[in-house]
Structure 1
Amino acid sequence: MIRIAAGFVLFLFVWILADIYIPVRSDIRNFEPKQVGQLEAGMWRSYYERRPLRLIGQLTDLIRSQYRAPYWRSWQLGYRAGKAAFVFKDGKNQQDYAKALPYIQRFYEGINDLSETPFPAGKVAALELKWWMIRREKNGFRPGDWETILKQESSAIFNVPAERFQEHAQLRVRAMMYRDYRGKDITESDWKYIEELLEQSWTALHKVVNTPSPVN
């Protein structure tokens, strides 16, 4: 029994190391937009209802199903993203919010490692945190400002001109604004509406990144 247990532990250890460190790459443009929209709506709900474990599980599902990450690596990246979200959520000022940046950056570095086409993970992480911060502060910012950041972030990840992500950004911002509008009165039907907006948003992005850029 001791030998069997030791063998199992060794196998598990090797599996985890292989899962995390053996290079695996895929085309991150190849995803199911409706599934991403559904998962994102669920993640938003977990965040607002302060359910970190459920959020990490949803992130892990997203990373494994859409980015085709190995099992243990998906949990590693899911933890980084979930940790970033709740470090930020507990923040009170910009200095506190900045503490989430290392986790966001390590998350995007991990996604970059999975991508056939590299992207500037540091730049993307900074834009992601900026999006979170202006969403939190709101004062002095307009929906157009939020859309601009989302377009810039998508452009950096997929190397496509930012203006082509206008529909994606508008729909995603509309979903977030509706979530803010409903506040504590939000209902199941409200979450369903948010999910539909996010499905449309990711469908628009999927179309952009899988359609060749027009030639002038």
Structure 2
Amino acid sequence: MHATDTRQEPSPSESTRKRRWRRIVVAAVFASVLCAAYAFWPRAARLRSFDPDEVARIDAQAWRHYYEKDYARLTRDLYRLCRRQLGASPARSLQIGWQAAWAARVFQKSKSREQARAALPYLEKYYDIIRTVSGEPFATDEAARLELEWWQQRRENAGPEEYARPMAACAAVLYGVFNDDIRQSAEIRARMMAWRDARGGAMTGDDWRHIEEELRRATRHLRAGVQTARAVSPPRGETP
């Protein structure tokens, strides 16, 4: 007698389902690889080529969310700024946004210069990523130091003409040039910070629109400044 093979061949419907699932799995893996490549593939950032009006619009939103201590939206704003205007990859844009927003959070919670230094590593990482993706050969530690310095001066009630100097010097370190346009950009931004501080919690929609308009002027000066090199003396005491 011959042994009887009791195994059953899969039905046509079962074979079809298996093939369909295999195709779905392969497609999902392929899509995941594409998404990862899109998110993490290195891209060269464009530090000197940006739309000043769009930068000002996003920047004004970031200011508002900073003062409201809405760090999630602040991260989103900075992500959009890096993604749309710098052209950094999604992953790098998220890194930049998170480092900057976390530095702001650490600083806002500090009560002294010594405590505020805890924000410095995040600022250094923030600028380090920008240097990596842009290829700009600037001193990240110096840029971070100047950034934190003008934050400190603002909190210590220095006048806008004072903290505009380290702001301008920070931009000069980042872009490797210093001129009247960069100086004016920093001065306009500093005046708007003081203007907002004077209003505190009484800011209205019209007030924020005014800030956006002035930030637009500041950003136009910045773009003009980084695309030319009309050298002048750097801010006193804050040599880039």
- TM-score normalised by the chain length of structure 2: 0.79
CA shift for structure 1 position 173: 0.8
CA shift for structure 1 position 11: 5.7
CA 1:125–1:13: 2 relative to 1, 3 Å: farther
Helix, strand or coil for the counterpart of 1:38? Answer: helix
Greater RCO, CA 8 A, separation 6+: 1
1:176 and 2:203 equivalent? no
Aligned pairs, how many?
211
- Aligned positions of 1:195-210 closer than 5 A: 195-210=212-227
AA partner of residue 101 (structure 1): L
Bigger radius of gyration: 2
Q: Please, which of 161, 184, 209 is the counterpart of residue 167 of structure 1?
A: 184
Counterpart contact for 2:62–2:74, Cα < 8 Å = yes
Distance 1:6 1:91 in 2: 50
Instruction: Report what 1:135 is aligned to.
Output: 154
1:53 and 2:62 equivalent? no
Distance 2:197 2:170 in 1: 22
For residues 33-76 of structure 1, give each alpha carbon's deviation from its aligned partner in whole angstroms, at most 9, with x where no partner exists. Answer: 11111111110100111211111111000000111011122112
1:73 and 2:92 equivalent? yes
Identity %: 33
Root-mean-square deviation (Å): 2.3
For residues 141-189 of structure 1, give each alpha carbon's deviation from its aligned partner in whole angstroms, at most 9, with x where no partner exists. Answer: 3322211101111110111125552211111011101100111111111
Distance 2:111 2:45 in 1: 38
Q: For structure 1, list consecutive stretches of 5 or more residues without a partner in the other structure.
A: none
- TM-score normalised by the chain length of structure 1: 0.88
CA shift for structure 1 position 3: 8.6
CA shift for structure 1 position 9: 6.2
1:40 and 2:59 equivalent? yes
CA shift for structure 1 position 96: 2.1
AA partner of residue 214 (structure 2): L
CA 1:129–1:5: 2 relative to 1, 3 Å: farther
Helix, strand or coil for the counterpart of 2:137? Answer: coil
- Aligned positions of 1:181-192 closer than 5 A: 181-192=198-209
Counterpart contact for 2:178–2:225, Cα < 8 Å = no
CA 1:12–1:163: 2 relative to 1, 3 Å: same
1:150 and 2:167 equivalent? yes
Counterpart contact for 1:67–1:114, Cα < 8 Å = no
Instruction: Report what 1:123 is aligned to.
Output: 142
Counterpart contact for 1:63–1:69, Cα < 8 Å = yes
* More divergent stretch after superposition (120-129 vs 24-33): 24-33
CA 1:7–1:48: 2 relative to 1, 3 Å: same
* More divergent stretch after superposition (86-95 vs 40-49): 86-95
Q: For structure 2, list consecutive stretches of 5 or more residues without a partner in the other structure.
A: 1-20, 232-240
Distance 2:227 2:30 in 1: 42
Counterpart contact for 1:108–1:121, Cα < 8 Å = yes
Distance 1:8 1:99 in 2: 42
